[in-house]
Amino acid sequence: MPNAELKMDKPNFFDVAADLAARKRAAALPRQAAGAAPAEPAKALSVTEVTAIIDKAVKQGVPPSLSVRGEVSNFNRHGASGHLYFTLKDANACINCVMWKDAAARLKFAPRDGMELIATGGVRVFAPQGKYQLYVNSLTPVGQGALELAFRQLHAKLQAEGLFATERKKPLPVYPLCITLITSQSGAALQDMLKVLRPFPWLRLCVYHVPVQGDGSAEKIAEAIAHLNRRHKTIGGVDVILLGRGGGSLEDLWEFNEEIVARAMAASAIPIITGIGHEVDVSIADLVADYHAHTPTEAARVATAGWKNIADVLDQHHIALRRSTRQFVQNARQRLEAIQRHEIFRRPLDRIQNLRQLLDERHVSLSAAIHDKTHTLQLRLLNCSVLLEKHHPRNQLRLHRQRVDELRMRLDTSIQTRLQRTQEKVNSMSRVLSVIGPEQVLARGYSITRNKKTGEIIKSKTQVKGGEKLVTRVTDGQIESTAQDPNQPSLF
């Protein structure tokens, strides 16, 4: 209400601010001259008191409900609480906004950053942070209605997921026998559909009553579709679903633009025909349906289109059946006549005699084959016996024993020969030693002298020092002596 004049009998926020300024000025004045009473200092206010004064001033100076237009920024939907927090701004200022969960649940569209909206609510002070906020009760898009915006948003979302694609739509049964109508029992759409369906008394019609307008209607429509599919999965019986409603405004038809209805229809295994509103009305449910009829009456006509010409179809099938039956009987009669003219029926004994002769020939052939096979098997058995006898372990053992005996004899002969040669070699060496041995040398008058201490054989006089004990071996014993020092004079 920007043009409304605000009238307040009580002091407003600005009067309170002026009073506070006057108190501050009074506190800043210099002390009075000597002898005068000192000025009493002004009382300091707490933060809570100041915030309460501001909140009171805002409540008294701002209308309880106002509409604010601006651009959305910093939009945030709190995951746990479901509250909405955002900022409305224009070229010169911004204001923080809060929208509680219950109010946000009534929105038909999804706000986002950059969207220009009109927010309606009241301004109050948020004391914990010392700032004022707009507590929003409703949001309206600028330039278009909220329902139109919500329709466009959901349309873009479901189209991107492929829920409107032609290839996912299920074919309609040509001759449905069980048709279920999901609509309101008190609506005109039910009567329009029944008017079309009554000429087909063999159809089994079921009416599933649901509210088609108002809060909670979308959930009940979706539950009806899901319930029919669960029952169809267990016991079957539903060939097609007609979802119908009469005409109305966008607000009246809005339950058929809800996402929950669209997803229930997309998940349905039963084909769905929609007839919602008038010819110009197109809802999200119409786009998801397997067939979109413009009115409830057209939906019923589409479902029973195959039954309209059933008489002509039956006549055609009757004519085709008679023609095929006549042709079948004629072919059977020709085959029977050909069988009657066959030779086996004119001379049946000939066939028996031929079979007897064939049996005898087969018997002879079989006997010859058995004889040949038996002879072949006997020869193979004989060969196997010979081979078995040849390779019997007993024969192999006898051969190995002969081989061992031969090897033993060869080993004994080799040992005797080797011993004889070794004995002859030892005797030869003994004869040589007896000729060139030291005993023979000593016997010829030679001797061997050793150092008694070291046992070293003395080959030169330079190896002997004075006073060393020597042992001289001769042919019949040993002689011990002491070497004299040539530099020491002889005593004798």
Q: What is the pLDDT of residue 369?
A: 93
Q: What is the pLDDT of residue 321?
A: 92
Quick one: pLDDT band at residue 19, thresholds 50, 70, 90?
low
Quick one: pLDDT band at residue 1, thresholds 50, 70, 90?
very low
User: Assign residue 250 a region: left if phi > 0, alpha if psi is -120 to 50, beta otherwise?
Assistant: alpha
Which of 451 and 22 is assigned the larger pLDDT?
451
Which of 114 and 300 is assigned the larger pLDDT?
300
Q: Give the C-alpha separation, 467 to 264, whole Å.
A: 135
Cβ distance 97 to 111 under 8 Å?
no
Work out the burial of residue 77: count CB atoms within 10 Å of its CB; fewer than 13 is exposed, 13-18 middle, 19 or more buried: middle
Of 69-73, 153-157, 345-349, 430-434, the range with the lowest mean pLDDT is 345-349
CATH class of the domain defined by 167-308: alpha beta
Q: What is the pLDDT of residue 377?
A: 92
CATH code, residues 64-143: 2.40.50.140
Quick one: pLDDT band at residue 337, thresholds 50, 70, 90?
confident
Q: What is the pLDDT of residue 441?
A: 74
Q: What is the pLDDT of residue 8?
A: 39
36: DSSP letter: S
Q: How far is CA 354 from CA 132, 360, 361, 433, in A?
A: 117, 10, 11, 115
Quick one: pLDDT band at residue 242, thresholds 50, 70, 90?
very high
- What are the boundaries of each domain within the chain? 1-62, 64-143, 167-308, 443-482
The stretch 93-118 carries a mean pLDDT of: 84
Cβ distance 101 to 85 under 8 Å?
no
Say yes or no to pLDDT of 43 above 90: no
Quote the percentage of the chain above a pLDDT of 90.
26
Q: Are the folds of 64-143 and 167-308 the same?
A: no
Say yes or no to pLDDT of 167 above 50: yes
Work out the burial of residue 260: count CB atoms within 10 Å of its CB; fewer than 13 is exposed, 13-18 middle, 19 or more buried: middle
Say yes or no to pLDDT of 325 above 50: yes
Q: What is the pLDDT of residue 490?
A: 58
DSSP 159-220: HHHTTT-GGGSPPPPSS-SEEEEEE-TTSHHHHHHHHHHTT-TTSEEEEEE---SSTTHHHH
Q: What is the pLDDT of residue 179?
A: 92
Quick one: pLDDT band at residue 41, thresholds 50, 70, 90?
low
